[in-house]
Structure 1
Amino acid sequence: MDIVRALIIVDLQTDFCDGGSVPVPGADRLVHAINGYLAGRPDYEHVVATKDFHIDPGGHFSEHPDYSSSWPAHCRAGSRGSDFHPELDTGHLGAVFHKGAYGAAYSGAEGVDEHGVTLPEWLRQRGVDEVDVVGVATDHCVRHTAADLARAGFTTRVLLDLTAGASPDTTNEALSQLHTAGIELVRSR
């Protein structure tokens, strides 16, 4: 039986890029790197993306954020900041999973598509066995998305050269946790 693979692009949104309300260093570089990677026709049957999409996230937003559980306002539903980076090629996307409408949500596995289907359920419906995770931020949403998909039974890899972290210390800690959880940490090429 053939292995069915999916690429998960995590939160490559305007507010997480240069000039956004919570910029992740290197996020803009990722847009071009991921576009180039997809143009090289990697062997994925499905490409999907996640989006932070906040309507009323309560204490997740703060005027005095701790950058751990509270953050400056970002990715408000319908705002320019919630849009994908304008140069991201979204033509490959089979679905988009919105997360965090009414609270903090760090994992793409918590997101739902336009029909209310969760990311893990959507992947199972399509017989996906293996997932590669890319995007931002390595130490937050990439980490949680990869860990949750692995726990859901998918063979999971994080493509390190197609991710960017918010801070070196928390990124290194996240990568250590992912490695310990059995998630492969590899380069895309």
Structure 2
Amino acid sequence: MTRALFIIDVQNDFTEGGALGVDGGDAVAAGISRFLDAHADEYSLVVASRDWHDPDNDNGGHFHESPDYVDTWPEHCVAGTDGAEYHPELSVDEVDVHVRKGQGEPAYSIFEGTDDSGATVAHILADRGIVDVDVVGIATDYCVRASALDGVSHGRHIRVFTDLVAGVAAESSDAALAEMAHAGVDITTTDEAFAS
């Protein structure tokens, strides 16, 4: 078994009531926990990422007082704040590697982050011989999209489970799913992927 699960940015600031909360974020957090209860043994590696932005600068222009919500954003997921923590409904008991990204710079893809030892996700996957990766989390049209596309560019076979993602907006999420599919990502659901 050499399949990994990426859990992308299921954090308080990206779920309902957070600084950049998306509709459905709470449900995604709870859904991922239920999925792990049933399927954690299907994975040789579970990696969870978090935005972890510096508190004392604009993180390379990522934070802006008048954000355009495309390239610039209000302050969110500041290191050490409640907003940067995992959503309370997300069980992290099965997480093997915790990745932080966006430390002083814009970062969307899990591949832009590092674990506590400084290892990159690409290195971790290569070290364990993992080619197949499933992706869930937030947000479909930003960090899920970037992580899935980076996975393809790193030569991995990527699946995105549409029942365990939530996006900022319906139109941009649909466009992101179409872009990912065009790049070779398998867009599916957990029921389809794990049909007995």
Question: Same-fold call, TM > 0.5?
Answer: yes
Residue of structure 2 equivalent to 1:73:
75
**Structure 2 CA distance for aligned equivalents of residues 160 and 87 of structure 1:** 19
**Structure 2 CA distance for aligned equivalents of residues 142 and 28 of structure 1:** 16
Question: What 5-or-longer segments of structure 1 have no aligned partner?
Answer: none
Residue of structure 1 equivalent to 2:88:
86
Letter in 1 for 2:128: R
Letter in 2 for 1:173: A
**Structure 2 CA distance for aligned equivalents of residues 179 and 76 of structure 1:** 32
Residue of structure 2 equivalent to 1:53:
52
Residue of structure 2 equivalent to 1:157:
159
Q: In the TM superposition, what whole-angstrom CA distance separates every residue of 1:119-170 from its partner, at most 9, and x where no partner exists? A: 1111111111100000000000000000001110111010110000100111
Q: TM (normalized to structure 2)?
A: 0.93
Cα offset, 1:103, TM superposition: 1.2
**Structure 1 CA distance for aligned equivalents of residues 47 and 119 of structure 2:** 13
* Counterpart check, 1:21 vs 2:19: yes
Cα offset, 1:115, TM superposition: 0.8
**How big is the alpha-carbon RMSD for the aligned residues of Structure 1 and Structure 2?**
0.9
| Structure 2 counterpart SS, 1:23 | coil
| Structure 1 counterpart SS, 2:171 | helix
Where has structure 1 moved over 3 Å in runs of 4 or more?
none
| Structure 1 counterpart SS, 2:33 | helix
**Structure 2 CA distance for aligned equivalents of residues 170 and 164 of structure 1:** 11
Cα offset, 1:41, TM superposition: 2.3
**Structure 2 CA distance for aligned equivalents of residues 41 and 169 of structure 1:** 31
Residue of structure 2 equivalent to 1:102:
104
| Structure 2 counterpart SS, 1:9 | strand
**Structure 1 CA distance for aligned equivalents of residues 184 and 137 of structure 2:** 20
Residue of structure 2 equivalent to 1:168:
170
Identity of aligned residues (%): 41
Q: How does 1:122-137 map to 2 (within 5 A)?
A: 122-137=124-139
Question: What 5-or-longer segments of structure 2 have no aligned partner?
Answer: 192-196
Cα offset, 1:49, TM superposition: 0.5
**Structure 2 CA distance for aligned equivalents of residues 182 and 84 of structure 1:** 29
Letter in 2 for 1:188: T
Cα offset, 1:172, TM superposition: 1.0
Letter in 2 for 1:151: S
